[in-house]
Structure 1
Amino acid sequence: MFGLNFGHPESLALLALLPLWFLWQRKRESQRRTIPFSRAAVLAAGPRPSLRWVKWLPWLRMLAIAGVILAVAQPRSGARAERVNSDGIDIALTVDISSSMLAEDFQPQNRMEVAREKLKRFVLGRKTDRVGLIAFSGEALTQVPLTTDYPVVLAAIDNLQVGQLEDGTAIGTAIATAANRLRNSPGRSRVMVLLTDGENNRGAIDPRTAAQAAGTFGIRIYTIGVGSEGMAPVPVGRGLFGLRYENRPVKIDEPLLTEIASSTGGRYFRAKDAAALQAIYEQIDQLERSAVEAKAFIRYTERFRWPLLFGLAALCAELWLRARRGVLP
């Protein structure tokens, strides 16, 4: 009714009793035709009746009760939960946060800053995809498990900082950690996006073995090598005025990243600048999608205040008439 539903619709049954109460009230009033007084002086000192207003009193009382009943029934609008079928994929964003990600070959930003910016833009383009975030360097750690709570993922991306984990590049460990998050996901399409700027030099898990294991779970890995070609200013320690940079050769194990991607049906991309990295995420955004079932929630808007205020207004009007118009009891 008018886009409303009720939290306690059984309370509305009380409205059917109001006409009975009204008739009983009128009958009761009709039976009170005389009022005995011991002396005429008492009557003269009492309130003067105003019969024109007396007839409104039962109506106002009935409206007040009706307003309270409607408020108790908890009218509300908008809220429902329904299952909808939509296209979505499960995506594990796996990001290198080793010290080399501070290299400043993506001027005026370093690799880490550009990676955060492009990751956030990628997440903002999701609608029904479940997204998780895994950070790695010499070890790997899940920052956010698979979720559609995108503000949480965006906040976690903002908090990605070099130095949060032991330094190094453990690509195999990162793949195994992300695959463990994806392997039991309900979606038929599972994707891992692995972003790194170096060579595998840490961890006990071989990247190729981890990729083969991920492939058996139907996980497709897209690898991204981040960094320009040739030399790049890379942090090598701290000096008096902050990080000290030296030009070092950019080393990305492209054959390994290509093999990891191809063994799982994915692709390898090379991002030499910020624009290229953005274009890569746009290509990944065109991945094959599968239908998933999601539950859509719409929050209730409570409407009980209006009937409650209406009932209180009717009650106040009745009390005002009784007080100001001098209605006899």
Structure 2
Amino acid sequence: MDKDLTPWYSPEWFFPSTLRSFTWENSWMLWLLLAVPVVFVARWFIRQTTNQKLSVAVTRQDLHASPLALLRLIPDVLMFLTLVLLVTALARPQKSNEKVEQWTEGIDIMIALDISQSMLIEDFVPNRLEAAKEVAKNFIDGRVQDRIGLVVFSGDAFSMAPLTTDYDLLRAYLKDITYEMIESKGTAIGSAMAVVTNRMSESSAKSKVCILLSDGDNTAGNIDPITAAELATAYGIKIYTIVVGKEGLVPYGKDFFGRPNMVENTIDESTMRKMASIGGGEFFRATDNRALEQVFARINQYEKAEIKETRFKDTSDYYFVYVSWAVAFFLLWLLLKSTFISNILQD
């Protein structure tokens, strides 16, 4: 109910739904409502015991009861309602409209994803690359107001998506990623880190983060990964590195009979571990889909922007409505007090 639209004389102000919608500034005053009937009972008792009585002898057939005698109760009812309404007004019925505004300073995050041929190894379901794409998509879905970019690399590296808050665009890019996007074979981790640094060098974000995911072997590129990590750190970029895959025999493709081909896989995690140490981040090792999901979930928890909140409370008072009703009943009481109604049994 809007106080600007509902007139004070509307009966809606006495509906239970309206009264329940109020908060009461002086709620303790409502206990005085119990005192109002006590006052009227005490008043009636005093009148019965102190008023002068005149004995009149009449026969029983001369006594007649008339419904009009009830009219003399109207002034008392009006006074009763006046007091109830005044107590209600003193309790200060109010309605509050609280608004909350939240904002946050977003984080700039670059995801560098290895798309080399070794990422097609099927120790993940369906393979390392598709598993990485899926968890990266879920990671993006969980961010709010952060700018995120994509870098892909194999024998070379390039920026697939600049830092953006267009998460639909990022998801579309992730869907289109294949290992055939880059002709050069190998894994250029240092080049990927250099592209990330170039993309984030002009960022003014309070926090800059790189998530680098690879099978851990730097086999291409003309930039040393450690040197690239040191350069990134100079630009204030925190580096998280993730090595995916198992060592030993792992499935890769199928033979003529549909049986999985088993190939020997080695992982050198020392370079990725040192890059994370230089970049002030953390190194992770994931050997299956579940482990990779947990890694991204941990990074998601680590890199949370501080959410700031401002509350606005708009309070409207409605005591004037009940004061208006009380004044109306009081004026009506005064009017009837001067008429025959108050003395109908005596006249």
**TM-score (structure 2 length as normaliser):** 0.56
Letter in 1 for 2:173: A
Pair 1:102–1:154, CA change in 2 (3 A): same
2:225 aligned with 1:207, yes or no?
Answer: yes
Give the aligned partner of residue 111 of structure 1: 128
Give the aligned partner of residue 274 of structure 1: 289
Structure 1 position 163, deviation (Å) = 1.4
Alignment of 1:42-121 (within 5 A): 85-107=103-125, 109-121=126-138
Does the Cα contact within 8 Å between 2:241 and 2:282 map onto a contact in 1?
A: yes
The equivalent position to 1:149 in structure 2, one of 163, 166, 187, is 166
Letter in 1 for 2:169: V
Structure 1 position 240, deviation (Å) = 7.4
Give the aligned partner of residue 152 of structure 2: 135
**In structure 1, distance between residues paired with 2:240 and 2:165:** 21
Pair 1:190–1:241, CA change in 2 (3 A): farther
Does the Cα contact within 8 Å between 2:113 and 2:152 map onto a contact in 1?
A: yes
**In structure 2, distance between residues paired with 1:128 and 1:154:** 15
Letter in 2 for 1:154: R
Does the Cα contact within 8 Å between 2:105 and 2:206 map onto a contact in 1?
A: no
The 3-state SS of whatever aligns with 2:180 is: coil
Give the aligned partner of residue 201 of structure 2: 183
**In structure 1, distance between residues paired with 2:220 and 2:176:** 23
Instruction: Output one character per residue of 1:164-199: Cα deviation in whole Å (capped at 9) or x when no partner.
Output: 102210000000001111121120100000000140
The 3-state SS of whatever aligns with 2:302 is: coil
The 3-state SS of whatever aligns with 2:223 is: coil
**In structure 2, distance between residues paired with 1:136 and 1:282:** 23
Larger Rg over CA atoms: 2
The 3-state SS of whatever aligns with 1:233 is: strand
Alignment of 1:286-301 (within 5 A): 286-290=301-305
**In structure 1, distance between residues paired with 2:174 and 2:303:** 25
The equivalent position to 2:275 in structure 1, one of 257, 260, 285, is 260
Instruction: Output one character per residue of 1:252-287: Cα deviation in whole Å (capped at 9) or x when no partner.
Output: 221111000001101110010000000000000012
Does the Cα contact within 8 Å between 1:198 and 1:251 map onto a contact in 2?
A: no
Letter in 2 for 1:158: K
Letter in 1 for 2:134: E
2:180 aligned with 1:163, yes or no?
Answer: yes
**In structure 2, distance between residues paired with 1:115 and 1:241:** 29
**In structure 1, distance between residues paired with 2:138 and 2:293:** 9
Give the aligned partner of residue 298 of structure 2: 283
Letter in 1 for 2:237: I
Structure 1 position 288, deviation (Å) = 4.2
Structure 1 position 230, deviation (Å) = 2.4
**In structure 1, distance between residues paired with 2:188 and 2:255:** 27
The 3-state SS of whatever aligns with 1:88 is: coil
Does the Cα contact within 8 Å between 1:92 and 1:192 map onto a contact in 2?
A: yes
**In structure 1, distance between residues paired with 2:233 and 2:266:** 26
**In structure 2, distance between residues paired with 1:241 and 1:176:** 44
The 3-state SS of whatever aligns with 1:163 is: helix
Does the Cα contact within 8 Å between 1:197 and 1:251 map onto a contact in 2?
A: no
**In structure 2, distance between residues paired with 1:289 and 1:145:** 21
Does the Cα contact within 8 Å between 1:90 and 1:131 map onto a contact in 2?
A: yes
Letter in 1 for 2:275: I
Unaligned runs of 5+ in 1: 1-82, 294-329
Q: Which moved more, 1:83-92 or 1:109-118?
A: 83-92
Structure 1 position 289, deviation (Å) = 4.1
**In structure 1, distance between residues paired with 2:150 and 2:176:** 11
Structure 1 position 88, deviation (Å) = 2.0
**In structure 2, distance between residues paired with 1:183 and 1:126:** 22
Unaligned runs of 5+ in 2: 1-100, 309-347
Give the aligned partner of residue 235 of structure 2: 217
Query: Aligned pair count?
Result: 208
Identity of aligned residues (%): 44
